[in-house]
A and B are shown apart, each in its own frame.
Chain A
Amino acid sequence: MIHSLFLINSSGDIFLEKHWKSVVSRSVCDYFFEAQERATEAENVPPVIPTPHHYLLNVYRHKIFFVAVIQTEVPPLFVIEFLHRVVDTFQDYFGVCSEVVIKDNVVVVYEVLEEMLDNGFPLATESNILKELIKPPTILRTVVNTITGSTNVGDQLPTGQLSVVPWRRTGVKYTNNEAYFDVIEEIDAIIDKSGSTITAEIQGVIDACVKLTGMPDLTLSFMNPRLLDDVSFHPCVRFKRWESERILSFIPPDGNFRLLSYHVSAQNLVAIPVYVKHNISFRDSSSLGRFEITVGPKQTMGKTVEGVMVTSQMPKGVLNMSLTPSQGMHTFDPVTKLLSWDVGKINPQKLPNLKGTMSLQAGTSKPDENPTINLQFKIQQLAISGLKVNRLDMYGEKYKPFKGIKYMTKAGKFQVRT
């Protein structure tokens, strides 16, 4: 399946290569560079590039291209999903996934990659299993290893590999037993000129951080499980139980994991928590344009909207902008034409407002399109879909865990057309 993997940084250096079958010359990457050149932007590089003898499948994350070389028919998503899993694993191991970190930990990276694939077929991709096979480097462990001569490599088969709960390590011990769940919802929306919603969807996830001793068996129930009509689960969730009772029943992996992600589709009514009033106008004759936007809260269930950030890609003709915000900071980059305004909290009594003029290139006619406004915001303690966790119970262990649930609503891809 996956023949080789090349890691390429943004300047086009191949800084790591790994082969699971016979070696494929790195010159194969020339086809990739060609495609990259053609695409002009990194995000437009086609994920699948056919070459005379190989196929290059790549993903772009953290400013690194992960290019997998394959030779025969394989479901492309299989490879792409695996590459993303590799990135997630690196992130899990080293905290961040960047060129520098990978270079610093090149041996660990290599060992991990070796375990993840055998002959190009995924072998161990659960990070809990991998961490038992190859322990993540920490300063303490490095010191201990140099003194005692012990290693980072486990010599026993991780128990998870064989059990029916491969995602969980055995012998987990904590002094403070805690389980935290974050319900995070992102609103994807397109709002049209007049302020009406063209499409709005909610993408929710429940991220969990479970640090519980032993083999706890948890059940999580919701006040209104009907909201979740389209869900995907971590493999630990017992699907049948969900089907019949709408209860999440699972033995959690140790540490951080995504329990569930769900989608409340465009067909349902989605409350939009903010509105944007805008007045952006270019005039054909003059080289000055007017610009004014106001952001205000709407349907926030009494919660404060914070972390508001407005960005907008201005048309090429805009040379500069002179704006005054009523609060927050704003910047305009005359090269990339990107306007960003860090608003902060919205005070419903005094709505944040950004107002001023744009100077346009003299002589050119006015742009066809007004810029779209991208919005980011956060609302704490609110799940906009109305999802509520009812209770969390633990079975299988005797102690009483500390439980916590947090709700948050964020803007996902939130766009206002002007």
Chain B
Amino acid sequence: MSASPAYSEEKGGSSSLGEPEYGHDPASGGIFSSDYKRHDDLKEMLDSNKDSLKLEAMKRIVAMIARGKNASDLFPAVVKNVACKNIEVKKLVYVYLVRYAEEQQDLALLSISTFQRGLKDPNQLIRASALRVLSSIRVPIIVPIMMLAIKEAASDMSPYVRKTAAHAIPKLYSLDSDQKDQLIEVIEKLLADKTTLVAGSVVMAFEEVCPERIDLIHKNYRKLCNLLIDVEEWGQVVIINMLTRYARTQFLSPNQNESLLEENPEKAFYGSDEEDSKDDKLDAASLVKRKPYVMDPDHRLLLRNTKPLLQSRNAAVVMAVAQLYFHLAPKAEVGVIAKALVRLLRSHSEVQWVVLQNVATMSIKRRGMFEPYLKSFYIRSTDPTQIKILKLEVLTNLANETNISTILREFQTYIRSMDKDFVAATIQAIGRCATNIGKVRDTCLNGLVQLLSNRDELVVAESVVVIKKLLQMQPSQHSEIIKHMAKLTDNIQVPMARASILWLIGEYCEHVPKIAPDVLRKMSKSFTGEEDIVKLQVINLAAKLYLTNSKQSKLLTQYVLNLAKYDQNYDIRDRARFIRQLIVPTEKSGALNKYAKKLFLAQKPAPILESSFKDRDHFQLGSLSHLLNAKAVGYQELPDWPDEAPDPSVRNVEVPEWTKCTSREKRKEKVEKPFYSDSEGESGPTESADSDPESVSETESESGSSSSSSESGSDSGSRGEESGDQSEEEEEKKKKKKKKGKEGPRKACPESAGSDPSEEEEEQEQGKKGKKKKPQDEGKGASESSWEEGSVSESSSSKSDSGSEAEESQSEPESRRRTTVRGQPPSSKPAPKASRKETKEISLLDLDDFTPAPPQPASSPAIVSTSLVTDLEGLTLTNASLAPTMLSPVFSTVKTYELLHRMAGEGLSVEYYFNRQPFPPDPHMVAVQIQFSNNTESEVKNLRVSEPKLVSGMRIQEFQEIESLAPGDTASVIMGIDFCDSTQAANFQLCTHSRQFYVSIQPPVGELMAPVFMSENEFKKEQGKLTGMSEITEKLTLPDKCQSDHTIVQRVTAAANVSRVPCGADNEYRFAAKTVTSGSLILITLERKEGARAHLTVNSEKMVIGTMLVQDISQALAQ
């Protein structure tokens, strides 16, 4: 190509762009201004010996490329510099080569040898970039060279080069698809790579080259799941999308029981909101009838390991996880994604747009999921129209009987908007709400009729169209509306609206017998000027009138048909001819004529207004195809669940002897192991080995601080894979973490015998890490102790040498308590405490002599003020080691709640109550006493908790597994739940040897706190701090039977786990507690006024808890 067109093109474009890169270049001034020599100066600069000139020239050339100017004639001059020493020149030459090599293949070959040399360079960056450019230049002749280079790079020791090799695979494939088989081999090899750096890229290559070879994933499945969290974000997206597809082929549907229950899927669609609420019950019921569905542990692994990624800052990752959950998770668990998706709505408007499209699809299938976030979809006047319309779609999908009134009120605001497209969409939405929810149909219709008098024609037209659809459902009652609309034909000009009105009048002409002929008269006058769609409806109207009221309309009809006969549009001519034959009796048209009335005035089914997002979910959510509602190039169908699960053993990986225990069977065994038993450090070799990979994974995420080389990164990755299941129960993990310090070094010895040296080395390194962590923990423990109550014990147990002791002492009282509690009847009082606590109790009791039935005060280091400590000094309370954190009140009535009914549990019934004891393993947990009774004929074995589904932040300390429960026997255990100071239910499964039950524990707000002991002054001081918004007051009237001090105190303490605070005034009662999880104070004051009136005040910085507590207490008092 000659230089001149390139130049003129350049000049043309540059006028608007400015040419900064020429401006400061002295060489480009007057000297080389001639058109033909424009590029000569660049060539000259490129040929010079000076790197700076070369660089300058290359920069100018790249700037040309960037602006889309042709610089291909410089190719020979540029390619010479491919071996330039200056790295920036070299890079720019690469940029140039990649851009133009395709056009100048022969010349491009000159550069190949340089890249081949680069592939052998000791610097990994140079090796990688050589491979990158070599694979990017798209010259078919070098395919064999590329293949060789990729193969070699795939076994390079640098993971970065291996990553580049993975990137090169799709490039080569697009250049020459014949290489597929060889490339698959490379992919297979790279899939086995254990570094996070490679994982994303190779899965990308897999998706582009051989997405159908799902069998390649089997062996790597668990590794990918485990590595996922550490893969870079873009890789995560690709891997998650691929795994979604994989899981669809390999696992059974987790919702199969429900889908079998739903006989009519169509019905289930609208009724799903009720169904959702009954989910758990249905689950249990269906389980009785059918073979129980047990989720494949690998399926669970995927769900568990992707869940944290909902917290990613990258919207694409969040969306990928959301679609994974939508397509793969059991119905009950899908809800977790709603929150994350709603969060994305704050992002850039493009992100919002995509997310809303997906939410729209999801909200049709799973309406309940987004219902709590209804208000997040409210529309602001500043939203772009396309966002408004999508939000409207979601709001409409979410509408149901309970929230429809709020939604309609919101819609009323939208109708007045200045954005008319949006108003039209709102009217459509109202129409859809009206069809879906029968209750509000009349309200909506009236509202829409009012809109008919709107000044804006578009609004009126849209309303007419929607009203027409609504009227079709029950026309008889609405002849008034039809009359009203008939009048509108004079004014409305929008063709669709006119057509709708005419159709309505024609269809229901018997309801408006006087008006209809008149409308036809008017329309026939203006017939020639109408749009086609209106003309067709005029003909229809005429035909229908002719059939019902031929006396008045015969002539008119003939007139209209005659006009139509000569219309320009053949559709209209056809219609006129056809109708004339049909309705006007002649000799020839015998048969059909009789049926004309039936044909025209048949009952027509009302249209179903449904979302355009219905059934879009057959496309994988989050995909481009879903967005466009059309299959995009390269879209991989999301397969249906298989009926029979394929063999799960294909995912088993050969592992070295000592990690065997992490395979499936062993894992199960471990779950069954009593929880506390794994605290002993002196267990057998299997034990230590299986905890080992976990601590590795822990260090991987925890101790990024320790300078870890690439090797350690890759090794820890591989360990993750070998462990198979590194994400164990949180609790267990925490234990391990504490022990890590001491475990590391010890483990190195037994393993060195069987494992290869590199592992041993790593082992030691890990030991070092463990040690390194220790001082940190100590430091933290010391610093924390001052401000975080409860962390004292934790940090002390994390000191390596005292670790096991601390744990033993921790578990000791727990187990002791359990033994005492077991076997007691449910109504009995909470178990007596360990003796040393009892003595304490007594001393405190003496102090608190003025409360008749004392809810026992509690003290905790953080809250007991110094003044109190001095107060109590005489009682030797200052001995901190003796002070129990909390004391439990004694109650005559304990409220029991049902966890599992005898019927639902097939004879196993479970009840629970809040025993108001502190839960020693974790002071932030609420202790729940659970009472099992076996009403069956046979033994129930292996009673345990599994798969807690908790709201984020909530934690469960499971009870020790009950090995067996004889028929007729009862057993009772204690478990701890950290409710995070919310009344959200903790959901989990209760498993027996044969069955599992979904159960949930929902705490009354009063149980979320533990009593605190305070002096009067202290109380006043704290109360002073918690005023304003933290104070909630309510007036109430005390009933007659609730007048005495005793009853009042008893009722309050029954409603909430609080302790009484001494008070000088006798018409005032004070109680104090703190929330279990966060330890925020809750102060309750009940002030009696004259008569039966009283004022209840709750001070707490937790406003929600405060409000609920006020309700609960006033209810308890009013009874």
Closest A residue to B17 by CB, please name it: A15
Confirm or deny: A34 has a beta carbon within 8 angstroms of a beta carbon on chain B.
no
Are B63 and A232 closer than 8 Å at their CB atoms?
no
Q: Residue among B353, B372, B625 with the most chain A CB within 10 A?
A: B353
Are A78 and B234 closer than 8 Å at their CB atoms?
yes
Confirm or deny: A381 has a beta carbon within 8 angstroms of a beta carbon on chain B.
no
Are A106 and B66 closer than 8 Å at their CB atoms?
yes
Closest A residue to B241 by CB, please name it: A75
Q: What 0/1 readout, one digit per residue, does chain B (679-711) give for beta carbons within 8 Å of chain A?
A: 000000000000000000010111011011110
Question: Which residues of B sit under 8 angstroms from A155, Cβ to Cβ?
Answer: 87, 123, 125-126
Are A75 and B622 closer than 8 Å at their CB atoms?
yes
Compute how far the CA of A235 lies from the CA of B196 in the bound complex, rounded to whole angstroms: 14
The stretch among A287-295, A328-336, A367-375 that forms the contact with chain B is: A367-375
Are A271 and B1029 closer than 8 Å at their CB atoms?
yes
Are B63 and A157 closer than 8 Å at their CB atoms?
no
Of the candidates B51, B67, B418, the one whose C-beta lies within 8 Å of that of A149 is B51
Given contacts A152-B88, A239-B311, contact A119 B66 (CB under 8 A): no
Of the candidates A151, A157, A229, the one whose C-beta lies within 8 Å of that of B88 is A151
What is the minimal beta-carbon distance from B675 to any residue of chain A, in angstroms? Answer: 16
CB-CB contacts below 8 Å: A23-66 with B = 23, 26, 41, 43-44, 46-48, 50, 55, 58-61
Compute how far the CA of A395 lies from the CA of B783 in the bound complex, rounded to whole angstroms: 12
What is the minimal beta-carbon distance from A321 to any residue of chain B, in angstroms? Answer: 17
Compute how far the CA of A234 lies from the CA of B233 in the bound complex, rounded to whole angstroms: 11
Interface SS of chain B: helix, strand, loop or mixed? helix
Are A413 and B380 closer than 8 Å at their CB atoms?
yes
Question: Which residues of A sit under 8 angstroms from B168, Cβ to Cβ?
Answer: 119
Confirm or deny: B633 has a beta carbon within 8 angstroms of a beta carbon on chain A.
yes
The stretch among B159-167, B441-449, B556-564, B752-760 that forms the contact with chain A is: B159-167
CB-CB contacts below 8 Å: A54-111 with B = 55, 58-61, 70-78, 80-82, 84, 103-104, 106-107, 109-111
CB-CB contacts below 8 Å: B934-968 with A = 951-953, 955
CB-CB contacts below 8 Å: A149-197 with B = 149, 151-153, 155-157, 161-166, 188, 190, 192
What is the minimal beta-carbon distance from B969 to any residue of chain A, in angstroms? Answer: 36
Are A395 and B705 closer than 8 Å at their CB atoms?
yes
Closest A residue to B459 by CB, please name it: A368
Closest A residue to B16 by CB, please name it: A13
Are B138 and A22 closer than 8 Å at their CB atoms?
yes
Compute how far the CA of A324 lies from the CA of B722 in the bound complex, rounded to whole angstroms: 74
Question: Which residues of A sit under 8 angstroms from B624, Cβ to Cβ?
Answer: 48, 55, 70, 73-76
Compute how far the CA of A55 lies from the CA of B91 in the bound complex, rounded to whole angstroms: 30
Compute how far the CA of A13 lies from the CA of B385 in the bound complex, rounded to whole angstroms: 25
Question: Which residues of B sit under 8 angstroms from A201, Cβ to Cβ?
Answer: 376
The stretch among B344-352, B995-1003, B1108-1116 that forms the contact with chain A is: B344-352
Are A73 and B636 closer than 8 Å at their CB atoms?
yes
Compute how far the CA of A368 lies from the CA of B381 in the bound complex, rounded to whole angstroms: 14
Confirm or deny: A341 has a beta carbon within 8 angstroms of a beta carbon on chain B.
no
What is the minimal beta-carbon distance from B229 to any residue of chain A, in angstroms? Answer: 7
Question: Which residues of A sit under 8 angstroms from B92, Cβ to Cβ?
Answer: 107, 111
The stretch among B312-320, B429-437, B591-599, B1033-1041 that forms the contact with chain A is: B312-320
Are B349 and A104 closer than 8 Å at their CB atoms?
no
Of the candidates B87, B167, B413, B787, the one whose C-beta lies within 8 Å of that of A391 is B787
Confirm or deny: B86 has a beta carbon within 8 angstroms of a beta carbon on chain A.
yes
Q: What 0/1 readout, one digit per residue, does chain B (94-131) give for beta carbons within 8 Å of chain A?
A: 01000100100000000000000000000111101000
Of the candidates B20, B66, B339, the one whose C-beta lies within 8 Å of that of A265 is B339
What is the minimal beta-carbon distance from A369 to any residue of chain B, in angstroms? Answer: 4
Question: Which residues of B sit under 8 angstroms from A156, Cβ to Cβ?
Answer: 123, 125
Closest A residue to B166 by CB, please name it: A121
Given contacts A15-B67, A16-B67, A151-B87, contact A232 B237 (CB under 8 A): no
Q: What 0/1 readout, one digit per residue, does chain A (358-371) give for beta carbons within 8 Å of chain B?
A: 00000001011100
Compute how far the CA of A417 lies from the CA of B71 in the bound complex, rounded to whole angstroms: 57
Given contacts A149-B52, A238-B701, A268-B1104, contact A162 B160 (CB under 8 A): yes
Confirm or deny: B384 has a beta carbon within 8 angstroms of a beta carbon on chain A.
yes
Question: Which residues of B sit under 8 angstroms from A263, Cβ to Cβ?
Answer: 339, 342-343, 346
Are A118 and B132 closer than 8 Å at their CB atoms?
yes
Compute how far the CA of A63 lies from the CA of B788 in the bound complex, rounded to whole angstroms: 49
Compute how far the CA of A391 lies from the CA of B241 in the bound complex, rounded to whole angstroms: 39
Question: Which residues of B sit under 8 angstroms from A76, Cβ to Cβ?
Answer: 354, 622-624, 627
Are A226 and B87 closer than 8 Å at their CB atoms?
no
What is the minimal beta-carbon distance from B149 to any residue of chain A, in angstroms? Answer: 15
Are B1104 and A81 closer than 8 Å at their CB atoms?
no
Confirm or deny: B204 has a beta carbon within 8 angstroms of a beta carbon on chain A.
yes
Compute how far the CA of A48 lies from the CA of B385 in the bound complex, rounded to whole angstroms: 15
Given contacts A155-B87, A395-B705, contact A73 B623 (CB under 8 A): yes
Closest B residue to A241 by CB, please name it: B702
Of the candidates A47, A107, A153, the one whose C-beta lies within 8 Å of that of B353 is A47
Question: Which residues of B sit under 8 angstroms from A261, Cβ to Cβ?
Answer: 313
Given contacts A153-B88, A268-B1104, contact A226 B351 (CB under 8 A): no
Q: Residue among A157, A221, A374 with the most chain B CB within 10 A?
A: A157
Question: Which residues of B sit under 8 angstroms from A70, Cβ to Cβ?
Answer: 624
Are A106 and B21 closer than 8 Å at their CB atoms?
yes
Question: Which residues of A sit under 8 angstroms from B1080, Cβ to Cβ?
Answer: 224
Of the candidates B62, B124, B625, B701, the one whose C-beta lies within 8 Å of that of A107 is B62
What is the minimal beta-carbon distance from B519 to any residue of chain A, in angstroms? Answer: 28
Are A75 and B164 closer than 8 Å at their CB atoms?
no
The stretch among A243-251, A275-283, A347-355, A400-408 that forms the contact with chain B is: A243-251
Are A59 and B350 closer than 8 Å at their CB atoms?
yes
Are B625 and A73 closer than 8 Å at their CB atoms?
yes
Confirm or deny: B340 has a beta carbon within 8 angstroms of a beta carbon on chain A.
yes
Are A118 and B167 closer than 8 Å at their CB atoms?
yes
Confirm or deny: B375 has a beta carbon within 8 angstroms of a beta carbon on chain A.
yes
Are B350 and A80 closer than 8 Å at their CB atoms?
yes
CB-CB contacts below 8 Å: A198-227 with B = 198-199, 201, 203, 215, 217, 219, 221, 224-226
Compute how far the CA of A281 lies from the CA of B105 in the bound complex, rounded to whole angstroms: 74
Question: Which residues of A sit under 8 angstroms from B174, Cβ to Cβ?
Answer: 21
Given contacts A59-B350, A81-B316, A106-B66, contact A226 B234 (CB under 8 A): no
Confirm or deny: A357 has a beta carbon within 8 angstroms of a beta carbon on chain B.
no
Confirm or deny: A267 has a beta carbon within 8 angstroms of a beta carbon on chain B.
yes
Q: What 0/1 readout, one digit per residue, does chain B (272-295) give for beta carbons within 8 Å of chain A?
A: 000000000000000000000000
Are A121 and B632 closer than 8 Å at their CB atoms?
no
Compute how far the CA of A55 lies from the CA of B698 in the bound complex, rounded to whole angstroms: 43
Question: Which residues of A sit under 8 angstroms from B622, Cβ to Cβ?
Answer: 75-77
Compute how far the CA of A41 lies from the CA of B527 in the bound complex, rounded to whole angstroms: 38
What is the minimal beta-carbon distance from A366 to any residue of chain B, in angstroms? Answer: 10
Q: Residue among A18, A76, A224, A239 with the most chain B CB within 10 A?
A: A76
What is the minimal beta-carbon distance from B607 to any residue of chain A, in angstroms? Answer: 27
Given contacts A16-B66, A77-B315, contact A226 B1077 (CB under 8 A): yes
Q: What 0/1 readout, one digit per residue, does chain B (378-389) give for beta carbons within 8 Å of chain A?
A: 101110111000
Given contacts A267-B372, A372-B381, contact A46 B123 (CB under 8 A): no
Q: A44-B386, A123-B167 are in contact. List 10 more A-B contacts (CB 8 A).
A: A13-B16, A15-B67, A76-B354, A106-B67, A155-B125, A232-B312, A238-B701, A239-B701, A313-B381, A396-B705
| Leading 5 A-B pairs by shortest Cβ distance | A72-B634, A151-B88, A199-B375, A369-B416, A157-B125
Binding site for B on A (CB under 8 A): 1, 11, 13-19, 21-23, 26, 41, 43-44, 46-48, 50, 55, 58-61, 70-78, 80-82, 84, 103-104, 106-107, 109-111, 114, 118-119, 121-123, 125, 146, 149, 151-153, 155-157, 161-166, 188, 190, 192, 198-199, 201, 203, 215, 217, 219, 221, 224-226, 229-236, 238-241, 243-244, 246, 249, 251, 258, 261, 263, 265-269, 271, 299, 313, 315-316, 365, 367-369, 372, 374, 386, 390-391, 393, 395-396, 413, 415, 417
13 pairs, CB–CB < 8 Å, chain A vs chain B: A43-B384, A46-B386, A73-B625, A75-B319, A81-B351, A119-B171, A164-B708, A229-B339, A232-B340, A316-B418, A368-B416, A390-B787, A413-B382
